[in-house]
Chains A and B, each alone.
Chain A
Amino acid sequence: MKYLDEYRDATTARQYAQAIARVTTRPWTIMEICGGQTHAIVKFGIDELLPGTLTLVHGPGCPVCVTPVDLIDKAIDIAGRPDTILCSFGDMLRVPGTAKDLLSAKAVGADVRIVYSPVDCLKIARDNPAKQVVFFAVGFETTAPANAMAVYAARQQGIANFSMLVSHVLVPPAMQAILSSPHNQVQGFLAAGHVCAVMGYTEYEPIARRYHTPIVVTGFEPVDILQGVYMCVRQLEEGRAEVENQYSRVVRREGNPQAQKLIHEVFEVSPRVWRGIGEIPNSGYALRPAYADFDAERRFHLTARAAEESSECIAGLVLQGVKKPDQCPAFGTRCTPERPLGAPMVSSEGACAAYYNYRRTAAEPAPLRQSGG
């Protein structure tokens, strides 16, 4: 299949792996930001092709994982109200709130629907004029344009029974939080290609300079990731700290101006709480006052409440690249996809889910390198 097969080609992948081995002279630690990249790395076994001195740590780029528990509780609260339809991306449904998840709420009668695009919610709202339709708007910059479009179109079309529970987060402030941490081990970043497709990468340039850390905008297929690692290692070895673009077939330096315009029309930058990490200033989006009518927290008079995290879950450390999932004592034993303690075990972009589904080293050592048929 075009644009996929050539980026999953075994020969090209091995050539890049060899090139990486040739240029690597010292140990380096590189973080891939996006959970989609984490899953590709673990699923395809990309890290197995790298020299042992090179460590890939997994970043916070899993929107489901960083959505705070109290927002999930709010979503469950909304879903359980009469004459209300809660729409969400499928990923959010299994993430544990304080007492339960959205799937369990659905099983006891809440009207929870999976949508593929937030704009689909507008049709649901039009078809159900007597009901309140709420979209659980979770995500990084990648999903922001479509979410902004849903709110913008709802106002244009006068759809009053639609609102949005917003939990939008931004990548650059999270990178700065990681780099500023006293525990930081990250020496280079693979930036999330699809975030940059929307936002471009000019905002990464001051970060690379200030923290003297190379940042390579990287795609999601095995060859993309290996090429991204190669470019990052070359910078590290040469003492450079620049922003480079591996994913040039998709990303331009300025990003997608139309999408950015729409985002800024509807959203403004605000502080956000990241699950497991805490509040990071200027790290998210909130609806602008002009669109406050579409804010579900206001419409349903939701206020902050005490939300409980599992004390055993080390998701925060995993999301900051300080620990790997299989270093968690609960991994694969007390925490599994069926009974998750934290979100990274159930999200399709969660690092713990990737390790559990594809590798499962702590609970049961994986039988790697068997002969095939």
Chain B
Amino acid sequence: MDKIVAEKLSLYYGPKLALSDISIRIAERQITALIGPSGCGKSTFLRCLNRMNDTIPGTRVQGQVLLAGQDIYTPGTDVVELRRRVGMVFQRPNPFPQSIYDNVAFGPRVLGLARHVDLHSIVEQSLRGASLWDEVKDDLRQDALALSLGQQQRLCIARVIAGKPEVILMDEPASALDPIATLKIEDLMHELVKDYTIVIVTHNMQQAARVSDYTAFFMLGKNQVGTLIEYAATRTIFTVPHDKRTEDYITGRYG
């Protein structure tokens, strides 16, 4: 079942076309990896999925992005609600300079989710869901910035989960982390995907090969415009890619 469907999605920064005609169907409760060389538009595409590009002046989008069948670019769309449903984790962990507890409770408080349910249980469930609970449960009042980078990233994931999203977008979530913290994030992704649809941008092809069910390869096409070259099951992309350009990239012969 498709959770997100992009139909002929193009994106302009002012007059410049940055992404051209991207059509892709992202499967529900699967991990989809977006790979490709720097500047190929994969992060830009990711940010189209919860309209993060709206915050950049002069950005214009053509085509459609359907989330569970609804076009998220329809005028009148509640963008705050959209970003709750489609949460995002960034390259550098970005916890608020507050306690662990307040970081996770932030979303539920702002969104009013905690009015009728126990905020404590949301915090605990979210921290458990992010595989962080056992490491922090004894001192939830601790400053989030005192955690290791890997823990901070899992805290950011807990913060996203607390908003009860449907989709989690991850923009190079492990690129600032050491190998052990990276593997913890990857294991966590395998847990999260039981409940959420995950789309991850990664520069690390082995990571894409390890964690994802589907892989989309982007590169700059004609006129230096971000283009989707090939999209298939991850095992296909990494063993028998169909497009020569994909093969050259994943075997390290691109460029």
**A and B: partners?**
no
